[in-house]
Amino acid sequence: MKLNPTIILKAPISQREKMRKMNRTLSERIHIDFFLFFALLSLTALGLFVLYSASNGNSLLVFRQIARLGIAYFIMIIIAQIPPTKMRLWIPWIYLIGVLLLTAVLIIGDVGKGAQRWLDLGFIRFQPSEIMKLAIPMFVAWYLADRELPPSFIDLLVCAFIIAVPVLMTAKQPDLGTALMLAGTGAWVLFLAGMRWRLILLLLLAAAAAMPALWFMMHGYQRQRVLTFLNPESDPLGAGYHIIQSKIAIGSGGVFGKGWLNGTQSHLNFLPEHATDFIFAVLGEELGLVGGLVLLAIVTIIMLRGLYMSTQAQDTFTRLVSGSLILTFFLSIFINIGMVTGLLPVVGVPLPLFSYGGTSMVTLMASFGVLMSIHTHRRLVAK
Amino acid sequence: MEKKKVKLKDHLKEVGLFNRRLLVALLFVIVLTLMLILRLCYLQIIQHHLYTTLSEKNQVTLLPIAPNRGLIYDRNGVLIAQNVPVFNLEIIPDKVNNLEETIEKLSKIIELTPEDKEQFYKQLKQHRRFDTVPLKIKLNDDEVARFYVNQYRFPGVLISARLMRYYPLGASFSDILGYVGRINEKELNKIDQTNYAATNFIGKVGIEAYYEDQLHGEVGYQQVETDASGRIVRVLKRIPPKPGENLYLSVDSKLQLASEKALGDNFGAVVVIQPSTGEILAMASNPTYDPNLFVKGMTTKEYNALQNAPGRPLFNRSIRGQYAFGSTIKPFLALEALNAHAITKSYKIKDPGYFSLPGSSHVYRDWKRGGHGTVDVIKAITISCDTFFYTVGVKMGISHIHAILNDFGFGQLTGVDIGEEIPGLVPSPAWKHKAKGQPWYPGDTVISAIGQGYMLTTPLQLANGTAILSMRGHGFKPHFLTKWQDAQGKFHTKPPVTAPVVHADPQYWDIVIEGMQKVIQPGGTAARFGHTPYTVAGKTGTAQVYSTYGKGQDKNLPKHLRDNSLFIAFAPIDKPEIAVSVMAEHSKDAKMIARKVFDAYFEEEKEEKQKHETKSNDHSQSTH
């Protein structure tokens, strides 16, 4: 009698499985969300156009970026094939390895531009903090998945610990931008998990109160960035130069822009970092308000699709993961554009799919891979 | 079952909670997106105009272009001041982050002396932040190449090809041309800063300073697009500068070199004037200096060394050296004595070898012990009889001496077009009262009559006076500039300006000139001058040097400053072509120096004539 239920149950499930396999859409079969995929492709295309101009027509640089994009898309597709159940099994280990690598970076990491962010493995150099962009929200979601929501105070403390360790280690490197993004990702999970509003408000107040303490913990250049943000004109040739030139670039672009490849601010090198963190200024200068709106429209489409996809997730873990990842994507877009347009202080956050550079792009596409995996595996999860 | 129920409830509750939170997040996303859109609208629509202006200001700069300085030629078209291209290392301070570090790094690829740096920091204070400041001038090809290879490391540092002043004949013309040097703070306040926006050099002394306005020209502009490091990407508009005017001087460089050569090792000066125009044909002195050193720039040490070198090379003897006339004063006084009817042609004295004022035991000696015997005015000039002129001087009085010397241009600026001139001194009782607070004593008149005492003149004044004398009173103002060529290539001539006419009876002129002619003949004081194929009238002089007037008598002066020899002369007598004054410090060579100058002049003239003749012969042959 003990064996019976298994026998009875087994047959319908395998039947249903078969049925489902037959009914599966193409999207579900190859685990790619076409809507999201094409939205990402159009954003990528726009990004490459702007990068070509920002690099002064350096096609070699653009090809290198295309190669990176190829790898990033490939990783997205691969990750999309992994069922969320597997991810859920692996995630504690990935988190642990991530923390270990961060420790390694702090001890033996390569120094690039005055900060210790890279780990050189001989054949590849990468920033372990990037792994954490995925590992933190997924591990927090893993922790909360089996617990009663909204999370209890104890659970929140555990989550805060899970988030704080890699965030502080990253901030120590120092990489304020990434640390901020990591904290944001973790925070999104807690927010989506239903953390009480009272507590959120309390935390925000506490954060505001902790500002002075944070000030003393900051490095000189970080403080300078904040000061410069508050009054960029105070130091027009020093720290304020970036933001002034960036505003000039965007402002002089007007509604329709100066035309592709015709931006004087970037082509005559007045605009610093115009191929990396400040690439949005190139878009603003050459393609104008219209270009900016097109970019934001594509981002909005991605957001709407991403948020819809998270509502379709079938369990707590996947819901929390997909919701926090798509919101993190938006956060990085907002922080970058906000910083380039002078709304926010200059923190080194690249513009996803636009800025030249590899690591953050791979992470981003991996997170879209997770999103697609969750969405295209959802009928399997929902027993 | 109960448990399952609860769980199911929880599940629904959780989904509801999650979806609510997601909705809040969506609102959040929408609000932030709207913020970005509003921000973009603000920057790109409302502030568009402001940022467009800033963007244009970023890239478009107005760069001044220095005009080419006018060239200077001698009377025969020989180039005596030109511009040669040099490569300078320059810095735009505004575009350099750390000036000291940049210079430190630069010194590793281009050798920079402490003087270069010192000069640079001095210049830095005088320039605006966004102007270029020269760090090192005259880079060699190697240095230029080394810099270009490393240029990317040095934003705000550039190499400019500039034209630099060059004086091909160097030291030979420094007294006339002067030199250009870097503009200093004092000059910066005087000049039109807009017109000199791209100019680094300005005329400091001599012709270069006197005709600065004509030589400089007018600044041009180019509107250029530059990148962030100040490199010119392209030129949008160009208003070319108006080059300076080319000057043609009266100087004959061959005669100038010959005069310099004639001076030899003597410290002294030679001035040659064409009496019929007042044009200065030569104005040489020894020792002198290479004006190119000033263009390159000297350190304080080098400058001091030059300043204090033996004979003081920087001292322009011809116009700033003040010397006692000595006996060269005598022809002028003889003319006045005749003019004022103090003496006649036949007036004679018996010279015992000394002179005393009536009622005084003080003796004024003649240069010749025992005297010259019976002396009339012609002989007095010929043998330079002091006693005769003591007597005649006292006879006509200081007012006549003063008047005639003034008429011949002494004791005042000649107005020669190189500035820095010193007027010399022709004393008068009024002057002495004012300057010394003392009355004029009869003794003052006595020594004035032989060109001593307070009497001071410059070699240029002597040559000028001689020229007027040779023209029998109808002289011209001494000058250098004869014509100039403006930016359009058009020539303008500057007509000679007549000097105030000195009136005297024609026969008085004859008497004086006869006396001077005999000076170089056997029996005259300059008999050693020798026989000449041209007629010459001259006068020797021996004089003592005063560093400043008002120092009183010569007794306390060091011996090596005594007994300068002077010589004035003109030739030919009936139609004077040149009037010469020579001053040789503590030497007796003045007359022999003058002889060489005359010979050089007439030799050259003869050659020119022969050349002309062969030319015209060729011409006539070809026409026939």
pLDDT digits (tens, 9 = 90+) for A219-271: 777 777 677 666 666 555 555 778 888 899 999 999 999 888 888 888 777 78
Residue B48 lies in a domain: no
Do residues B414 and B345 both lie within one domain? Answer: yes
Q: What does the pLDDT read at residue B402?
A: 93
d(CA B149, CA A12): 78
Q: What does the pLDDT read at residue A306?
A: 95
d(CA B334, CA B353): 19
d(CA A148, CA A194): 10
| CA distance, residue A269 to nearest chain B CA (Å) | 5
Query: Measured in Å, how far apart are chain A's first and last C-alpha atoms?
Result: 24
How many CA atoms within 13 Å lie on the side-chain side of A40? Answer: 28
pLDDT greater than 50 at residue A4: no
Three-class secondary structure of residue B13 per DSSP: helix
Three-class secondary structure of residue B278 per DSSP: coil
A218 and B CB contact within 8 Å: no
Do residues B187 and B257 both lie within one domain? Answer: no
Name which of B22, B33, B233 is nearest A323 (Cβ-Cβ).
B22
Least confident among A39-48, A131-140, B124-133: B124-133
Share of chain B above pLDDT 70, in %: 92
Q: What is the arithmetic mean of pLDDT over A312-317?
A: 89
Q: Which of B253, B276, B327, B448 is catalytic?
A: B327
Do residues B169 and B317 both lie within one domain? Answer: no
Residue B113 lies in a domain: yes
Three-class secondary structure of residue B329 per DSSP: helix
Residue A154, Cβ density class (10 Å: 0-12 exposed, 13-18 middle, ≥19 buried): exposed
pLDDT greater than 90 at residue A373: yes
Do residues B489 and B557 both lie within one domain? Answer: yes
Judging contacts by C-beta atoms under 8 Å, the chain B residues touching residue A351 are: none
A148 and B CB contact within 8 Å: yes
Q: What does the pLDDT read at residue A18?
A: 65
- Choose the mutation target among A242, A268, A287, A315 for the interface with B, i.e. most B CBs under 10 Å: A268
Residue B24 lies in a domain: no
pLDDT band at A383 (very low <50, low <70, confident <90, very high): very low
Contact A203, A157 (CB under 8 A): no
For residue A7, the one-letter residue type is I
Q: What does the pLDDT read at residue A77?
A: 95
Name the residue range of residue B346's domain.
Answer: 253-609
Residues 313-342 of A with CB under 8 A from B: 316, 319-320, 323, 327, 330, 334, 337-338, 341-342
- Range from A350-354, A379-383, B540-544 that averages highest in pLDDT: A350-354
Q: What does the pLDDT read at residue A137?
A: 95
Do residues B235 and B367 both lie within one domain? Answer: no
Do residues B421 and B466 both lie within one domain? Answer: yes
Cβ distance of A296 and B37 shorter than 8 Å:
yes
Do residues B477 and B365 both lie within one domain? Answer: yes
A252 and B CB contact within 8 Å: yes
| Token pair in block for residue A229 | 């943000």
Cβ distance of A296 and B36 shorter than 8 Å:
yes
Question: What 3 state SS string does B479-538 have?
Answer: ECEEEEECCCCCEEECCCCECCCCCCCHHHHHHHHHHHHHHCCCCCCCHHHCCCCCCCEE
Residues 169-198 of A with CB under 8 A from B: 188, 191-194
Do residues B356 and B338 both lie within one domain? Answer: yes
User: How far, CA to CA in Å, does A267 sit from each of A50, A256, B571?
Assistant: 12, 18, 75
Mean of the per-residue pLDDT values for chain B?
A: 86
Residue B50 lies in a domain: no
**Inter-chain CB pairs, A–B, below 8 Å:** 133
Q: What does the pLDDT read at residue A298?
A: 97
Judging contacts by C-beta atoms under 8 Å, the chain B residues touching residue A249 are: 51, 55
Do residues B588 and B604 both lie within one domain? Answer: yes
Q: What does the pLDDT read at residue B553?
A: 43
List all residues 6 or more positions away from B6 whose beta carbon is below 8 Å from its beta carbon: none
Three-class secondary structure of residue B235 per DSSP: strand
How many CA atoms within 13 Å lie on the side-chain side of B526? Answer: 33
Do residues B168 and B268 both lie within one domain? Answer: no
Cβ distance of B17 and A149 shorter than 8 Å:
yes
For residue B51, the one-letter residue type is Y
What is the domain-level CATH number for residue B356? 3.40.710.10
d(CA B169, CA B254): 11
pLDDT greater than 90 at residue A46: yes
Three-class secondary structure of residue A119 per DSSP: strand
Smallest CA-to-CA distance from A373 within A73, A61, A87 is with: A87
Give the neighbor-by-neighbor strand order of the sheet with B220-226. Answer: B60-65, B220-226, B232-239
Share of chain B above pLDDT 90, in %: 48
Task: Cis check for the bond before A174: say yes or no (omega within 30 of 0).
Answer: yes
Q: What is the arithmetic mean of pLDDT over B555-580?
A: 80
User: How far, CA to CA in Å, does A276 sit from each of A55, A334, A352, A353?
Assistant: 9, 16, 10, 10
Judging contacts by C-beta atoms under 8 Å, the chain A residues touching residue B52 are: 251-252, 254
For residue B258, the one-letter residue type is A
Q: What does the pLDDT read at residue A179?
A: 87
Nearest chain B residue (CA) to A272: B228
Cβ distance of B32 and A334 shorter than 8 Å:
yes
Q: What does the pLDDT read at residue B117?
A: 84
Residue B183 lies in a domain: yes
Residue B44 lies in a domain: no
Three-class secondary structure of residue A314 per DSSP: coil
Residue B19 lies in a domain: no
Where is the domain boundary, B249, B277, B292? B249
CA dihedral angle for residue B20, residue B22, residue B24, residue B29, rounded to 10 degrees: -170
Query: Pairing between strand B578-584 and B564-571?
Result: antiparallel
Q: What does the pLDDT read at residue A230?
A: 66
Do residues B310 and B229 both lie within one domain? Answer: no
| Token pair in block for residue B150 | 């490393």
- Range from A117-126, B142-151, B378-387 that averages highest in pLDDT: B378-387
B235 and A CB contact within 8 Å: no
Judging contacts by C-beta atoms under 8 Å, the chain B residues touching residue A308 are: none
Whats the size of chain A, residue-wise?
Answer: 383
| CA distance, residue B148 to nearest chain A CA (Å) | 20
pLDDT band at A16 (very low <50, low <70, confident <90, very high): low
Query: Measured in Å, how far apart are chain B's first and last C-alpha atoms?
Result: 144
For residue B404, the one-letter residue type is I
Q: What does the pLDDT read at residue A58?
A: 82
Smallest CA-to-CA distance from B130 within B40, B64, B212, B180 is with: B64
Please state the domain count of chain B: 2
Where is the domain boundary, B249, B281, B311? B249
- Residue that is written with structure tokens 């920091």 in the block: B121
For residue B541, the one-letter residue type is G
Q: What does the pLDDT read at residue A235?
A: 57
d(CA B474, CA B234): 61
Nearest chain B residue (CA) to A237: B97
Q: What does the pLDDT read at residue B618?
A: 61
Judging contacts by C-beta atoms under 8 Å, the chain A residues touching residue B10 are: 148-149
Proportion of chain B in helix, strand, coil states, percent, rounded to 5: 45, 20, 35
Least confident among A131-140, A298-307, B193-202, B407-416: B193-202
In whole angstroms, how large is the CA radius of gyration of chain A? 22
Is B55 considered catalytic here?
no
Do residues B200 and B266 both lie within one domain? Answer: no
Structure confidence by residue, pLDDT tens digits, A139-152: 999 999 888 888 88
User: How far, CA to CA in Å, does B428 sit from each of A282, B329, B397, B423?
Assistant: 84, 16, 10, 15
pLDDT band at A208 (very low <50, low <70, confident <90, very high): confident
A247 and B CB contact within 8 Å: yes
Q: H or E segment at B283?
A: strand B279-286
Question: Which residues partner with B89 through β-bridges?
Answer: B136, B159
List all residues 6 or more positions away from A6 whose beta carbon is below 8 Å from its beta carbon: none
Q: Where are the beta strands (DSSP E) in B126-258?
A: 133-136, 157-166, 179-182, 201-205, 220-226, 232-239, 246-249
Cβ distance of A338 and B10 shorter than 8 Å:
no
List all residues 6 or more positions away from A204 whose beta carbon is below 8 Å from its beta carbon: none
Structure confidence by residue, pLDDT tens digits, B514-563: 999 999 888 888 888 888 889 999 999 987 654 433 444 444 555 465 57
Q: What does the pLDDT read at residue B175?
A: 92
CA dihedral angle for residue A44, residue A50, residue A52, residue A53, rounded to 10 degrees: 180
Structure confidence by residue, pLDDT tens digits, B314-359: 999 999 988 889 899 999 999 999 999 999 999 999 988 889 888 8
Q: What does the pLDDT read at residue B198?
A: 83
| Token pair in block for residue B532 | 């000449």
Q: What is the arithmetic mean of pLDDT over B353-366?
A: 86
Residue B56 lies in a domain: no
User: How far, CA to CA in Å, does B68 sit from each of A128, B36, B244, B438, B492?
Assistant: 63, 55, 6, 55, 19
Where is the domain boundary, B200, B234, B249? B249
d(CA B604, CA B607): 5
d(CA A133, CA A331): 12
Contact A370, A138 (CB under 8 A): yes
Angle value at C-alpha A206, between A204 and A210, nearest 5 degrees = 115
d(CA B416, CA B396): 31
DSSP conformation class of A176: H
pLDDT band at B278 (very low <50, low <70, confident <90, very high): very high
Q: What does the pLDDT read at residue A379?
A: 75
What is the domain-level CATH number for residue B182? 3.90.1310.10
DSSP conformation class of B578: E
Contact B566, B462 (CB under 8 A): yes
| ipTM summary value | 0.89
Judging contacts by C-beta atoms under 8 Å, the chain B residues touching residue A292 are: 36-37, 40, 44
A288 and B CB contact within 8 Å: yes
pLDDT band at B274 (very low <50, low <70, confident <90, very high): very high
